[in-house]
């Protein structure tokens, strides 16, 4: 290496531990999946086992009290994972520390991390703009631009979209029992490169996707979180349902939609049951 005049890194620009690392908008989201090391667990006395269950219980209660923080718990299907958490919290330092504490909460080597995903809530790039909505009002409803009716419709639209945008950035997670998580990327190969499509084409394709999605209203709640630059795929897809049949149904149906058929690549699927704190240990046989 040639002699450099660059000053060595100092800690001067690193913010103090109590300074916020909350993002400009949205929350950090962690999906955490663990296997239980049953041989490790079986070596503990029953008193120790109770202590460790209590430690996890207390930690979950504590984290759920943290401002703007949601922590969901899942008993996972198949030996792919036993326990899952989904954590939403604004500050990066909290997300980081909470994950470490969850991982060691039941003592060393009991919860073995086997998959995790880091993403952030985000607003959609493809929601309808007020201009586009105005166009629909003119062409489909025959309203005259500037008329009272037109202006009222636009004002209502703006209010609805503002609430909708907030719901995506600061969602309230449902307590629905069937949980499905998988990461997804838009393809970038040869003629099927999502990122070389112009915005209007992508917008139209996404409108088709959304139209299919809306048919599942009441059966599926979804949260799409962005992870470009943060994790291996570009989005985390989190689905909640009351019936496994609907998870299988929507994912199957989406496969025929061009956005998924032509442009989507998926990671592994994690399926779980959302459980109450007092149900977790019984459900996972601890
Ligand atoms: O803005 C909105 O949220 C409404 C329109 C909408 C967008 C922009 C929407 C609606 N989605 C959007 C974005 Mn979706 N979604 C998926 C999957 O398995 C598969 O094939 C795909 C996984 C499902 C099941 C699903 C469901 N969606 C996205 C994005 C970001 C893309 C980008 O920015 O380029 C991804 C990766 C993605 C994937 N989507 C809906 C649904 C459902 C059920 C809806 C209707 C929601 C509603 O109207 O309440």
In a domain, 204, yes or no: no
**Residue 137 falls inside a structural domain:** yes
Q: Specify the pTM.
A: 0.91
Residues 48 and 87 in one domain: yes
d(CA 272, CA 178): 6
Residue 93 lies in a domain: yes
Residue after which a domain boundary falls, among 135, 170, 205: 170
CATH code of the domain covering residue 71: 3.30.70.1030
Same domain, 89 and 149: no
Regarding whether 117 and 97 lie in a shared domain, the answer is yes
- pLDDT tens-digit readout, 83-141: 999 999 999 999 999 999 999 999 999 999 999 999 999 999 998 888 888 988 999 88
Q: Which two tokens stand for residue 224?
A: 């799409």
- Which range of residues forms the domain containing residue 163? 124-170
**Closest alpha carbon to 272 in 261, 256, 283:** 283
- C-alpha–C-alpha distance, residues 10 and 151, integer Å: 56
Residue 274 lies in a domain: no
Ligand 1 center to 214 CA (angstroms)? 9
Q: Taking Cα atoms as reference points, which of 110, 113, 144, 135 lies closest to residue 30?
A: 113
Which residues are known to be catalytic?
A: 182
CA distances from 107 to 73, 133, 211, 229 (A): 18, 55, 47, 32
Structural domain total, the chain: 2
Most ligand 1 atoms within 8 A of CB, residue of 29, 125, 129, 213 to mutate: 213
Q: Is 125 in the pocket of ligand 1 (CB under 6 A)?
A: yes
- Per-residue tens of pLDDT for the chain, all 286 residues: 444 555 555 566 777 777 889 999 999 999 999 999 999 999 999 999 999 999 999 999 999 999 999 999 999 999 999 999 999 999 999 999 999 999 999 999 999 999 999 999 999 999 888 888 898 899 988 999 999 999 999 999 899 888 888 999 999 999 999 999 999 999 999 999 999 999 999 999 999 999 999 999 999 999 999 999 999 999 999 999 999 999 999 999 999 999 999 999 999 999 999 999 999 999 999 9
Pairwise CA distance, residues 210 & 70, whole Å = 26
Q: How far apart are CA 174 and CA 191, in angstroms?
A: 39
Closest Cα to atom 17 of ligand 1: 237
Mutate to test the pocket of ligand 1, among 163, 186, 222, 228 (most ligand atoms within 8 A of CB): 222
Angle formed at CA 157 by CA 144 and CA 207, multiple of 5 degrees: 100
């Amino acid at each position: 290496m040639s002699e450099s005049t660059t000053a060595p890194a100092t800690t001067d620009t690193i913010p103090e531990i109590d300074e916020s690392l909350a993002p400009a908008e949205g929350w950090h989201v962690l999906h955490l999946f663990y296997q239980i090391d049953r041989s490790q667990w079986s070596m503990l006395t029953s008193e120790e086992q109770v202590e460790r269950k209590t430690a996890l219980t207390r930690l979950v209660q504590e984290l759920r009290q943290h401002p703007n923080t949601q922590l969901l718990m899942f008993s996972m299907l198949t030996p792919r994972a036993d326990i899952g958490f989904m954590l939403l919290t604004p500050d990066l330092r909290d997300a980081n520390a909470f994950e470490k504490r969850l991982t060691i909460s039941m003592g060393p080597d009991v919860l073995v991390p086997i998959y995790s995903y880091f993403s952030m809530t985000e607003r959609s790039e493809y929601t309808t703009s007020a201009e586009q909505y105005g166009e629909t009002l003119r062409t489909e409803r025959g309203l005259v631009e500037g008329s009272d009716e037109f202006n009222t419709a636009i004002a209502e639209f703006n209010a609805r979209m503002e609430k909708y945008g907030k719901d995506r950035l600061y969602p309230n997670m449902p307590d629905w029992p069937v949980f499905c998580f998988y990461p997804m990327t838009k393809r970038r190969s040869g003629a099927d490169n999502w990122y070389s499509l112009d915005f209007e084409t992508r917008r139209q394709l996404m409108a088709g996707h959304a139209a299919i999605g809306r048919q599942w209203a009441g059966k599926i709640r979804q949260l799409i979180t962005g992870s470009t630059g943060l994790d291996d795929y570009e989005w985390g897809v989190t689905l909640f349902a009351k019936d496994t049949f609907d998870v299988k149904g929507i994912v199957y149906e989406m496969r025929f939609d061009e956005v998924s058929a032509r442009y989507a690549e998926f990671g592994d699927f994690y399926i779980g049951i959302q459980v109450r704190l007092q149900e977790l240990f019984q459900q996972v046989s601890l």
